[in-house]
Structure 1
Amino acid sequence: MSARILVVTAVTAERDAVLAGRRPATGMVAGLQVHRVLTPAGLLDVVCGGVGPVAAAVSTGCLLPAGYSVAVSAGIGGGFPAAGVGAVVVADTVVHADLGAETAEGFVSMAELGWGAVRYPVDPGWAAALSGRTGAVTGAVLTVSTVTGSQQRADRLLASYPDAVAEGMEGVGVCLAATRAGVPFAELRTIANPVGPRHRESWRVSEALAALGAAFDRLLAEPLAAGAPA
């Protein structure tokens, strides 16, 4: 049985990068525009789900009843030192990194407050499939609702999560929706800029989008067996 792959991006530029060079059919599901194409890896559905973990979770949850082998959060993001600009990153863990409380002593995570987990493991078979086919750097990908814009915050995040390789805004949302539905989850990003001060003149957005398209070309070039990534 071939795989059915759901890819959720935040914005249309990321969606278009994943679909570059393909001729998808387009339809509407639960108010969302879904782009569908048959690839050597299996049936691919790509949707622009919105920015941030809440929008991503809602969009993913609306689509999962259609039945998928895996739900992939994909896009561009910021890189920590382990992943330089232009790198492909695949998560082995996703972290809800800025959910918690500010205190007089600084930020305290939801986990430290005793309110629940902030780290969620990624399905190891799918993480291995994505990283093996794309040559990605693997590690924790942090989900934030406010993009990091200072070296101080970047240093604090890396001190709290030393296995962090990238920062994005949607992974945890897709992860929680998929987990609730019993569908494996994965996350793939390409790096447009270092996590830290916002020097927009040095961002490499177009290059990161091109790298995202190239990564999906490699990922989708051969069959992926549903439930048994290779």
Structure 2
Amino acid sequence: MQPERLLIVTAVEAEAAAVRAGVQASGVHPDTVVVAPVGVGPAAAAAGTARLLTLAEAAGTPYRAVLSAGIAGGFPGRAVVGATVLGARTIAADLGAEAPDGFLPVDQLGFGSNLLEADPALRKTLTAALPAAIVGDILTLATVTGTAQTADILQTRHPRAVAEAMEGYGVACAAQLAGVPFAEIRTISNPIGPRDRAAWRLPEAFSALTEAVAAACG
């Protein structure tokens, strides 16, 4: 009988390598966790995750859950560089329409929802394994924030948001369609605001990601 497997998807190989190091450090059997980079952005993430879930189901070895994992930008005052964040909800923050009075999310337009909840049981397990993690909303954006003005707008529009990335909502949509529990875990590499590569702390964020995955899988 095949063991139940967890799927962890990232955007790029560098994130996947950090996740694999965490899986190895956790001591779990390597056959129980599959780590795969599926591409940058919500569309690539949705397509890549859906393909992996479909192939596993067709083979008779469906995944027990899927995690969207990687690095992210943190909202100042909510998640500092190096912190680990868990998504209570994953929100497609730029999915909607512009209007004279401001942005209208897709749910207000009557075309579905731009918000998906993390699986409660999976979130509870991750929170117990990572008690220091910051729990809040994680925004998915096709264009990440690069100005103070946009950061302020997003913070005001999403008072519970702690971080932004580019893939979570796509992964969540694929998981929901497949009926597979979903959650999102990120580590903070930079503050959200004016684009400043000198302020990014990628090694620290990758190290934190390895540690978080090791604790989550252990």
The residue type paired with residue 64 of structure 1 is L
Q: Confirm or deny that 1:165 pairs with 2:154.
A: no
Q: Is the 8 A contact 1:38 1:44 kept in 2?
A: no
**Residue pair 1:10, 1:170 contacting (<8 A) in 2 also:** yes
2:178 to 168, 176, 181: 181
Cα offset, 1:173, TM superposition: 0.5
Letter in 2 for 1:152: Q
116-125 or 48-57, which moves further after superposition? 116-125
What is the Cα deviation at residue 111 of structure 1?
1.9
Residue correspondences, number: 208
C-alpha change, 1:21 and 1:78, in structure 2 (3 Å) is closer
Query: Quick one: distance in 2 between partners of 1:148 and 1:121?
Result: 23
Q: Which amino acid aligns with 1:180?
A: L
Contact 1:86 1:211 in 2 (8 A): yes
> CA contact under 8 A between 1:3 and 1:41: conserved in structure 2?
no
Q: 1:87 to 1:162 in 2, by over 3 A?
A: same
Q: What is the aligned partner in structure 2 of residue 39 from structure 1?
A: 28
- Contact (CA 8 Å) 2:10, 2:16: kept in 1 or not? yes
Unaligned 5+ segments in structure 2 are: 57-61
Shift of 1:103: 2.9
Give the partner amino acid of 1:12: E
SS at match of 1:116: coil
Map 1:59-74 → 2, pairs under 5 A: 59-65=48-54, 66=56, 67-74=62-69
1:7 maps onto 2:3 in alignment = no
* C-alpha contact (below 8 Å) 1:2/1:41 kept by paired residues: no
Q: Structure 1 residues 118 and 45 mapped into 2: Cα distance closer, same or farther (>3 Å)?
A: same
Report the alpha carbon displacement of residue 161 of structure 1 after superposing the two structures with TM: 1.1
CA RMSD of aligned residues (A): 2.0
Superposed displacement of residue 158, structure 1 = 1.3
Change over 3 Å in CA distance of 1:122–1:41 after alignment to 2: farther
* AA aligned opposite 1:49: V
**1:162-204 residue CA offsets vs partner (Å, 9 max, x unmatched):** 1101101000111010100000001000000111111110111
Q: What's the CA shift for 1:4?
A: 1.3
**CA-CA distance at 1:148 after TM superposition:** 0.4
From 178, 197, 200, the equivalent of 1:200 is: 197
- For the pair 1:88 / 2:89, whether they are aligned, the reply is no
In 1: Cα distance, 2:193 partner to 2:110 partner: 28
Q: TM-score, normalised by structure 1?
A: 0.85
Runs of 4 or more off by more than 4 Å in structure 1? none
TM-score between the two structures when normalised by the length of structure 2: 0.89
Aligned equivalents of 1:200, 1:76: Cα separation in 2: 14
Aligned to 2:113: 117
- CA 1:129–1:22 in structure 2 vs 1: closer, same or farther (change >3 Å)? closer
Alignment of 1:143 onto 2:140: yes
**Percent pairwise identity:** 47
Partner of 1:77: 72
Tell me if structure 2 keeps the 8 A contact 1:150–1:197. yes
- What's the offset of the Cα at 1:105? 3.2
